[in-house]
């Protein structure tokens, strides 16, 4: 059965605090990740290709991967965009629309530095050159803590404002913090979204609900070796021990 991976990044810049190491991938590292994937035979696809795969059963290339960037940090324009363009790799950026042109106000922990978020001008420029934009709500709330009406407002308003600014339908969504209830995917669908990304790890295939897509979280300090293990095994935490254990279990299963 055909399977593909979705990679989740946040900031593409040097981390400024220890807490940011997980979320901030230095640009050089980001480029090395992408180069490794390309030279290992992985094929970049867009979120549109994923949508077509689920809605029209359009096949994906083998070893397909999608790059996603959550939140809409300004460094996505400054640092990620030139690299993605250079390697002709499509990507989708999920925007918390109430924060556009502002700073990362929702990250209230003092362990995170203040970061600029994308402006509409930067978003429009990227949208005209191969980058897709999805919704990540208006205010980046924990959707599992809101009532249905409030969730609906977050979904519909963010979708509408992206469509007004970009002039194309906004069909893709990512759950803030990966938090949701059993009911949330239904509300996402009612708002008109076709795909939605969670933060659950693992591969996706035709049996996956497109409103519950799984992603591999790429940490800022992941080496190319580590990322390769992650995309081969479909896990977030690749240690030296894991591949050994994986092959050992398979060998053992074959012998017994």
Q: How far is Cα 121 from Cα 232, in angstroms, rounded to an integer?
A: 37
Burial of 16 (0-12, 13-18, 19+ CB in 10 A): middle
At closest approach, how far in Å is the CB of 70 from Zn ion?
Answer: 4
> At a CB cut-off of 8 Å and minimum separation 6, what does 129 contact?
81, 85
Question: Which range binds Zn ion by CB under 5 A, 26-34, 48-56, 70-78, 180-188?
Answer: 70-78
- Based on the shown chain and the rule CB under 5 A, indicate whether residue 217 belongs to the binding site for Zn ion: no
Question: Which range binds Zn ion by CB under 5 A, 19-27, 67-75, 83-91, 210-218?
Answer: 67-75
At closest approach, how far in Å is the CB of 223 from Zn ion?
Answer: 24
Site size with Zn ion, rule: CB under 5 A: 3
| Gyration radius (Cα) of the chain, Å | 18
- Based on the shown chain and the rule CB under 5 A, indicate whether residue 74 belongs to the binding site for Zn ion: no
Q: What is the DSSP string of 211-232?
A: TSB--EEPPTT--HHHHHHHHH
Residue 68's SS3 state is strand
List the one residue from 20, 31, 70, 217 that touches Zn ion (CB under 5 A).
Answer: 70
At closest approach, how far in Å is the CB of 187 from Zn ion?
Answer: 18
Near Zn ion in 84-113, by CB under 5 A: none
Q: Which run of H or of E encompasses 27?
A: helix 27-39
3: which strand partners? 205
List the one residue from 20, 31, 51, 71 that touches Zn ion (CB under 5 A).
Answer: 71
At closest approach, how far in Å is the CB of 59 from Zn ion?
Answer: 31
> At a CB cut-off of 8 Å and minimum separation 6, what does 132 contact?
46, 47, 48, 90, 91, 92, 93, 172
Question: Which range binds Zn ion by CB under 5 A, 27-35, 79-87, 175-183, 221-229?
Answer: 175-183
Nearer to Zn ion, 31 or 71 (CB): 71
- Based on the shown chain and the rule CB under 5 A, indicate whether residue 154 belongs to the binding site for Zn ion: no
Q: How far is Cα 201 from Cα 180, in angstroms, rounded to an integer?
A: 15
Question: Which range binds Zn ion by CB under 5 A, 64-72, 75-83, 209-217, 241-249?
Answer: 64-72
Question: Which range binds Zn ion by CB under 5 A, 15-23, 54-62, 63-71, 158-166?
Answer: 63-71
234 with 213: CB under 8 angstroms? Answer: no
Buried b (16+ CB within 10 A) or exposed e, 194-209: bbbbbbebbbbeeeee
Nearer to Zn ion, 49 or 211 (CB): 211
Nearer to Zn ion, 20 or 70 (CB): 70
As given in the structure block, the two tokens for residue 46 are 């867009």
Footprint of Zn ion on this chain (CB under 5 A)?
70-71, 176
């Amino acid at each position: 059965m055909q399977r593909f991976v979705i990679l989740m990044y946040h900031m593409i810049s040097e981390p400024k605090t220890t807490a940011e190491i997980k979320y901030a991938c230095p640009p050089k590292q980001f480029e090395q990740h992408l180069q490794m994937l390309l030279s290992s035979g992985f094929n970049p696809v867009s979120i549109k290709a994923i949508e077509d795969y689920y809605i029209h059963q359009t096949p994906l290339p083998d070893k397909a991967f999608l790059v996603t960037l959550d939140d809409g940090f300004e460094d996505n324009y400054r640092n990620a965009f030139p690299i993605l363009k250079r390697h002709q790799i499509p990507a989708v950026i999920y925007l918390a629309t109430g924060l556009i042109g502002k700073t990362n106000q929702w990250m209230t922990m003092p362990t995170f530095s203040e970061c600029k978020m994308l402006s509409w001008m930067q978003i429009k420029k990227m949208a005209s050159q191969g980058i897709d934009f999805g919704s990540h709500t208006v205010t980046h709330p924990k959707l599992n803590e809101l009532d249905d009406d409030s969730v609906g407002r977050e979904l519909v308003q963010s979708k509408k404002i992206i469509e007004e600014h970009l002039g194309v339908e906004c069909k893709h969504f990512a759950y803030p913090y990966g938090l949701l209830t059993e009911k949330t995917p239904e509300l996402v669908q009612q708002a008109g979204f076709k795909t939605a990304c969670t933060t659950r790890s693992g591969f996706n295939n035709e049996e996956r609900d497109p409103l519950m897509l799984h992603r591999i979280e790429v940490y800022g300090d992941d080496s190319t070796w580590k990322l390769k293990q992650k995309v081969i095994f479909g896990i977030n935490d690749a240690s030296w021990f894991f591949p050994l254990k994986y092959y050992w279990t398979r060998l053992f299963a074959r012998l017994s």
